[in-house]
Structure 1
């Protein structure tokens, strides 16, 4: 009887090896997007936690001082900061930055480069663009979204991604009828309350009692993208110069968007000077609307326009590096993610506070900008809330 020998195989065939390599390649291809998505989810949660810390700080500030920190507040004595400080400056001791607050709230006799300064910087610091003042160049992690990759150049003012909500108006929302020295502008004082209808008012103190629509129904702050100098729609504020048509119909502000690349403005569009940090989010300490305020007119990641430079009035839209929308902080401290598709009413409608002196848009008028506009106003009896 003839015995059969079993042949022994010591390795894979070429076909088997190629199949295994192909399977591994497919698995790696599937894994990489999942890893990226997981990282963005972690960054988004970290961003939300930062906003929660800011919300808690606002409530603790109010418990301490019986009012909210002023957006574009500060001092005018010895010139000082000319009432241009953001709400975030006053929050520093409430976001675990007591050391920084002590530097700001006391005179400082040293420049950023270590040389002596005579006379010293006054209490509450100089104007927000003074790069000799160390506190304005100090980056606070709580004020930055980890999904935003922009970082300030050396010896530039530090950035922020969290801006104060000043409502759904455009005209005069940069001063609310208050001069830099704190005195009232006589020409618009009778309409003072209607210029900023939001949780915050530029250069005007607000309190929780002023939020008649309810803290849970009113946006306190919104997320913004730091200007990256690429003329990106959601990160750039267009300088309209003498063209004020967008004051009347905000949708006109879209005429600079590139139809072939709708995420960007057309080449040559007049934007503010990036090299001197006059853009969205480029100074956490600066309370002027372009740098640290938002309006609820265009939905998230929409276009932004200003009358002219960084100190002017305009429309400043929420935006983020998160896919599909951006975070907002409600007055009660809750953080919500608002999608780009939120109902935003009629963007061809006149701004509620334009034209100045008009009797057709009283301070309590309903926002023309739908649910989004209603969430940005504090006392217009529009109590639509956001549901989970």
Structure 2
């Protein structure tokens, strides 16, 4: 048998690696692909967070309706002679959001930061927190005597201010007292029947911003465990950076994920005009009194928004 012999002139295959230029080109291409993909991933995540936020608002709306069916009125907003430290609407809703054990610990005869209310003040609840926000515990101390959770949602208290006063010319625009809130404030007892503008045309709950500072007082905005932190008004449009009222302490703009200007004019919470505010690009989610939830663009006409946040104004709501 003859053997096959490979001589000197035979072909030898050599393996050649990538050059530096080729590697750099590949890395550049991968970088471009990641840059193109990242916004899509972020948008998908935000869409999922917004969906969860909508679900939270729907469940809060359902809880408010169940409360109304049980007591034939909407929850007491919490003001007792305009005492803003009382337990808020959200504390009164606890049995209707699957938190009966926490509700049983509440002492409604003292301020929210007194008595047996520590569990209520310090426990974060997913239903009250939009996933686009960062949940924080305000005034964090070793003994937790003054600590308080911040919430992402607040009930609508009309289109003027907390005290539902005539708010003419605070920002050069005229508005009016239109019946204000459908929630019980002081001795006023209201229910769904008081909403003569129609439950599908009137905003019940929307979003508010969480203060990210864990130390110090930092004001009532979104401190939803308290009565004076559980409401917003329609005097200003959603996601506004304006500040015209005297109902807040001065805060650091950096305390919020989106900067809000500092405005210090004392502690007269009755004049507060806390606006609806969210971390969602372009607007806020809002639940109407019929339980429906919609996205309200921050570019909404101020008069259209004030019409939607009144209960008895008789305005014609544009489509």
Quick check: TM above 0.5? yes
Determine whether 1:199 maps to 2:140.
no
The C-alpha deviation readout for 1:302-339, integer Å capped at 9, x for no partner, is: 22422531633232211111111111111111111111
Query: The residue matched to 2:216 in structure 1 has which SS?
Result: helix
Within-5 A mapping of 1:179-198: 194=177, 196-198=179-181
- Residues 1:310 and 1:82: Cα distance change in structure 2 (over 3 Å): closer
Question: How do residues 4-15 of structure 1 correspond to structure 2 at under 5 angstroms?
Answer: 5=11, 8-15=14-21
User: Paired residues, what number?
Assistant: 273
Residues 58 and 293 in structure 2, CA contact (< 8 A), matched pair in contact too: yes
Q: Return the alpha-carbon distance in structure 1 between the equivalents of residues 61 and 37 of structure 2.
A: 36
1:26 aligns with 2:32: yes
TM superposition shift of 1:74: 7.1
How do residues 91-170 of structure 1 correspond to structure 2 at under 5 angstroms? 91-104=93-106, 123-130=107-114, 133-134=117-118, 135-152=120-137, 153-154=140-141, 155=144, 156-170=147-161
SS at match of 1:15: helix
Contact 1:227 1:274 in 2 (8 A): no
Q: Structure 1 residue aligned with 2:211, among 219, 223, 227? A: 227
How far is the alpha carbon of 1:217 from its aligned partner? 0.3
Query: Measured at CA, do residues 52 and 8 of structure 1 come closer, stay the same or move farther in structure 2, by a change above 3 Å?
Result: same
Identify the match of residue 46 of structure 1 among 46, 52, 76.
52
Instruction: Give me the whole-angstrom Cα distance separating, in 1, the residues matched to 2:26 and 2:233.
Output: 55
Tell me the residue number matched to 1:216: 200
TM-score (norm 1): 0.63
Alpha-carbon spacing, 1:6–1:82, altered in 2? closer, same or farther (3 Å): closer
RMSD of aligned residue pairs (Cα, Å) = 3.0
* Counterparts of 1:17 and 1:144, CA distance in 2: 46
Q: Bigger radius of gyration, 1 or 2?
A: 2
Separation of aligned partners in 2, 1:94 and 1:171: 25
What residue is the counterpart of 1:237 in the other structure?
none
- The answer on whether the counterparts of 1:173 and 1:202 sit within 8 Å (CA) in structure 2 is no
Whole-Å Cα distance in 1 between the matches of residues 28 and 81 of structure 2? 67
Quick check: 57-66 or 139-148, which moved more? 139-148
* Aligned counterpart, 1:279: 220
Determine which of 282, 295, 299 is the counterpart of 2:237: 299
Task: Name the CA shift for 1:275/1:374 in 2 (closer, same or farther; >3 Å).
Answer: same
Structure 1 partner of 2:92: 90
In structure 1, C-alpha distance between the alignment counterparts of 2:162 and 2:92, rounded to whole Å: 26
SS in 1 for 2:26: helix
Q: How much has 1:43 moved relative to structure 2? A: 1.6
Alpha-carbon offset, residue 27 of structure 1: 1.3
Check the 8 A contact 1:163/1:223 in 2, yes or no: yes
Distance 1:126 1:137 in 2: 17
The answer on 1:309 being equivalent to 2:315 is no
TM-score (norm 2): 0.76
- Tell me the residue number matched to 1:257: none
